[in-house]
Amino acid sequence: MAEWHEQRLRVRFEETDTMGVVYYAKFLTWFEVGRVGLLRDHGLGYVEWVRRGLAFPVVQAHADYRAPARFDDEVLVKTKVASVGNSSIRFENEVYKIPERSLLATGHTVHVLTDLKGAKIPFPPDLKERLTSTS
């Protein structure tokens, strides 16, 4: 199965709401941080996608919230490539409060590969191979 990429973050004050907990939408931002880190660590940073004339916009995002995080908590964002289709890719995420590793949220995003004009295209074979080798 897929290998998890791990990214540590510290909750910033601006990420909290008036109740003193992390605003729910910030978890989606953390999913992005994990996704970008995973791709960068596998030689597929944003510059590489643009150089190839490719983009992969989010077409679906989902999160299940288990427990709150608060200002200055340290969190661990785990991300993996769950599947790569003909022109889509799905990333899975888990977010934990550390050091106790209590589960805060789980979720996923689905992306479609497009050219820079937004037209859906299939994954080039070499790119698909690199993405599936991360899983």
How does DSSP classify residue 42?
A: T
Q: What residue segments make up the domains of the chain, in order of their start? A: 5-132
CATH topology of domain 5-132: Thiol Ester Dehydrase; Chain A (3.10.129)
What lies within 8 Å, CB to CB, of 16 at 6+ separation is 22, 23, 70, 71
* DSSP H/E element including 83: strand 74-84
Q: Half-sphere exposure (CA, 13 Å, Cβ side) for 15?
A: 20
Place of tokens 């661990």: 76
Per-residue pLDDT of the chain (135 residues; tens, 9 = 90+): 478 999 999 999 999 999 999 999 999 999 999 999 999 998 899 899 999 999 999 999 999 999 999 999 999 999 999 999 999 999 999 999 999 999 999 999 999 999 999 999 999 999 998 888 755
Q: In the numeric block, which tokens belong to residue 16? A: 């909290």
Sign of the CA dihedral 3, 105, 27, 96? negative
Rounded to two decimals, the pTM is 0.93
* DSSP H/E element including 36: helix 26-41
